[in-house]
Chains A and B, each alone.
Chain A
Amino acid sequence: MALIRAGLQRLANVFNGGQAGVLSRFVTSLSPVESKTVPETTKDVIAECNNLIEKNASRNFAIVHLLGKQWRVTDGDLLVVEGYWPPSIGDKIRLDKVLVAGTKDFSLIGRPLVQPGLVDVTATVISKGLSHTRTHFKKKRRKQFMRINFYRSPQTILRINSVEIANKINEAPKNVF
């Protein structure tokens, strides 16, 4: 399986390069000459990956970018997001910024993001609240200086419902945006 596993992002663009139209905004990135010299093995690798996706053999993971941090998530994970974040309880969210997605047998590596619509990471906001009380205490010795403050920062807890590789690799991406 090792040979399958590698960056497969952009493959769609390579293959669909000749037939412009569907992917007009990706086509420009590669010249059509390169798309002709695709080795047969590549097609096999992609076919195998697509098979594996259809079989849905193993649990997927993904690295998503959320509020300036990167999280490695899989089905059923809980994320605690700290800081101000508008979504409210019960909201279903799709995490779009997927940097890496993978299964047991292969991984898709985005540059920097996996193409939109290929990987589907859905999450639900299950609670919003505050963190425990943190004490901010300063003291200077022999200077009669002492300050004490207390603060709690807002926290949002997310449940990851599913991490799915939705489209087939090498298929035209659904234009979500």
Chain B
Amino acid sequence: MVFLTIANWVRSRGPDEFWRKRRMFRLAAHYIGRRRNCYSVTVRNVHRALVYATKARKLKKQDMIDLWSTRITAACEQHNITPCTLKQGLDRANIMLDRKSLSDLACWEPRTFECLAAVAKQKMEYDGAIDYTDKKYPTGVNLKLQDVMLEAWLKEKKQ
């Protein structure tokens, strides 16, 4: 290696203590106080942070799934249907949207989501399944789903 200063040339020989420590200090550059300046404290904190970062990659995915579920639940409450009934109804109607895209629709395309809720509810009714939709406030009455021939294809058996 080429070193331009004498200080670095001296450090290029012998034990690599300086460089080893500097690697850690670089990772701790944004910390404050002793966490950033004292090596013995730094190394503990950096190791802990790296372990957290590794574990968090999995946790983030789970958190996203939880978030989507929450959003779907909230949207389902608007349309008086439970998330469980919605999922079951859509699966039986052969509509294979996952939680990610359902929550996406619930956020940004609420009208489409309303229809999906209505379709799911209708399907559950046709199948004679016990469903937990709110009888008092039915889902999607003013959508007039019979206008688009829903019965015909909902009554089909799942292939």
Whether B156 contacts A38 by the Cβ 8 Å rule is no
Chain B residues with CB under 8 Å of A111's CB are 93-95, 153
User: A138 contacts which of B54, B108, B147, B156 (Cβ < 8 Å)?
Assistant: B54
A72 at interface by CB-CB < 8 Å: yes
- In the assembled complex, 5 residue pairs joining A and B whose CB atoms fall closer than 8 Å, in A order, are A11-B148, A72-B104, A99-B95, A102-B109, A107-B115
| SS of B interface (majority) | helix
For window 107-159 of B, CB contacts with A under 8 Å fall at 108-109, 111-112, 115-116, 118-119, 142-150, 152-153, 156
Q: If the complex has contacts A30-B156, A107-B115, are A139 and B51 also in contact, measured as CB distance less than 8 A?
A: yes
Q: Enumerate chain B residues within 8 angstroms of A109, measured Cβ to Cβ.
A: 95, 112, 115-116, 119
Which of A1-9, A51-59, A79-87 forms contacts with chain B? A1-9
Q: Select the residue from A5, A41, A61 with max chain B CB neighbours within 10 A.
A: A5
A6 to chain B, nearest CB (A): 4
Residues of A within 8 A of B (CB): 2-11, 14, 29-30, 34, 38-39, 41-42, 45, 61, 63, 69-72, 99-100, 102, 107, 109-112, 134-139, 146, 148
Name the A residues within 8 Å of B59 (CB-CB): none
In the complex with contacts A10-B153, A38-B149, A63-B101, A135-B53 CB distance below 8 A = yes
Are B53 and A63 within 8 A (Cβ)? no
Give chain B residues whose Cβ lies under 8 Å from the Cβ of A148.
Answer: 50
Question: Besides A10-B153, A38-B149, 18 other CB < 8 A contacts?
Answer: A2-B142, A3-B143, A4-B148, A5-B112, A7-B115, A7-B148, A7-B153, A42-B149, A63-B97, A63-B101, A63-B105, A100-B101, A109-B112, A109-B119, A111-B153, A112-B96, A135-B54, A148-B50
User: B-side interface residues toward A, CB under 8 Å?
Assistant: 47, 50-51, 53-54, 57, 93-98, 100-101, 104-105, 108-109, 111-112, 115-116, 118-119, 142-150, 152-153, 156
Inter-chain CA distance A41–B143, complex, in Å, is: 13
- Bound together, the chains give a CA A3 to CA B104 distance in angstroms of 22
Contact call B112/A107, Cβ cutoff below 8 A: yes
> Do the beta carbons of B98 and A61 come within 8 Å of each other?
no
Which residues of the other chain, A, contact B148 by a CB distance below 8 angstroms? Answer: 4, 6-8, 11, 42, 45
In angstroms, Cα B113 to Cα A72, docked, is 13
Closest to A137 in B: B50
